[in-house]
Amino acid sequence: MKKQDMNRDWIATAETLSSALPYFQRFAGAIVVIKLGGHAMGSDEAMDTFARDIVLMRQVGVNPVIVHGGGPMINAMLEKLQIKSEFVNGKRVTDAATMEVVEMVLSGVVNKRIVQAINRQGGRAVGLSGKDANLIICDQADPDLGFVGAPAEMDPKVLYGLFEKNMIPVIAPIGGGRDGETYNINGDTAAGAIAKALTADRLLLLTDVAGVKNADGDVVTELKAADVEEMTASGVIAGGMIPKTETALDAVRNGVRACTIVDGRVQNAVLLELYTDHGAGSMIRA
């Protein structure tokens, strides 16, 4: 008969699982849209950790939807193909040649890398773009920027069909135009549009910062829409955080229960946000 000493780490693990039960129950059947980008895509190890977390979410009854970016990969391919980009007011002009590369990289290499990572962890992921089944119909966002799209019409029926089969949609932010055009969509914008169309319970925007910070530089863990507006007007929220908070406000004012700007550099950030008291970023509610 073998005697086994109880390791403190084992006990802590069991306690963590037990304390997560209310959250498992709370999010069972919920739709959670996750914008994947930044650190979580930066290495195979980080990707595997993220994929394992997504498979766990699906295992306990959540319907996760992954929307991804891929800017660094696009830049690398444009450089490799010696396609030079023009910029207007600091924003890249997406001409026809650039759009071909964007679609090839996002819908091809990047999308399938995420799909494969999830499947390798035991999930059943399916790669899509906004062009599939007319998921996202776009209008041109700005004529000066070329083929950059703004989501105008959404048809999420294909996603509900995948949920019924316990599959995990992985979506490249590429949309179709009304006359057969192909448009590149900002990843956060695409994630927000999909979350609204699905009336998602949560929208999680993974980024490489700790969250929204106040004037003292401290991360604010929970904000109301009015707080975000006030902090933006006063200049506390500035720079690259503005489009993320704008996406969050648009989502929570259009049916999404809450949006969290999540520190994707933290290991298991998505699980921390959904299944613990303290979370892993700044939650914005209407």
φ, ψ at 130 (rounded to 5°): -65, -15
- Do the domain assignments include residue 189? yes
**Is 184 marked within a binding site?**
yes
**Is 92 marked within a binding site?**
yes
E strand residue ranges, the chain: 31-36, 63-68, 87-88, 91-92, 125-129, 136-140, 149-154, 168-172, 174-177, 182-184, 202-207, 222-224, 258-263, 281-285
- Do the domain assignments include residue 7? no
CA distance 273 to 211: 12
Say how many domains are in the chain.
Answer: 1
- Do the domain assignments include residue 126? yes
Interval 179-227: pLDDT, tens: 999 999 999 999 999 999 999 999 999 998 889 999 999 999 999 999 9
Q: How confident is the model at residue 64 (pLDDT cuts 50, 70, 90)?
A: very high
Pick from 150-159, 160-169, 238-247, 274-283: least confident: 274-283
- Do the domain assignments include residue 163? yes
Residues 6+ apart with CB under 8 A from 271: 53, 56, 57
pTM reported for the whole predicted model: 0.92
Q: Which among 172, 199, 259, 198 is positioned nearest to 223, based on CA atoms?
A: 259
DSSP states of 181-234: -EEE--HHHHHHHHHHHHT-SEEEEEESSSS-B-TTSPBPSEEEHHHHHHHHHT
Interval 223-269: pLDDT, tens: 999 999 999 999 999 988 999 999 999 999 999 999 999 988 888 99
Among all residues, which ones are annotated catalytic? 35, 38, 71, 188, 244
CA distance 268 to 276: 11
- Do the domain assignments include residue 188? yes
Domain containing 255 equals 27-284
**Is 90 marked within a binding site?**
no
Interval 79-102: pLDDT, tens: 999 998 888 876 788 999 999 999
**Is 257 marked within a binding site?**
no
Q: What is the pLDDT of residue 11?
A: 79
Greatest distance between any 2 Cα atoms in the chain: 76
CATH number of the domain where residue 223 is located: 3.40.1160.10
- Do the domain assignments include residue 2? no
- Do the domain assignments include residue 256? yes
- Do the domain assignments include residue 1? no
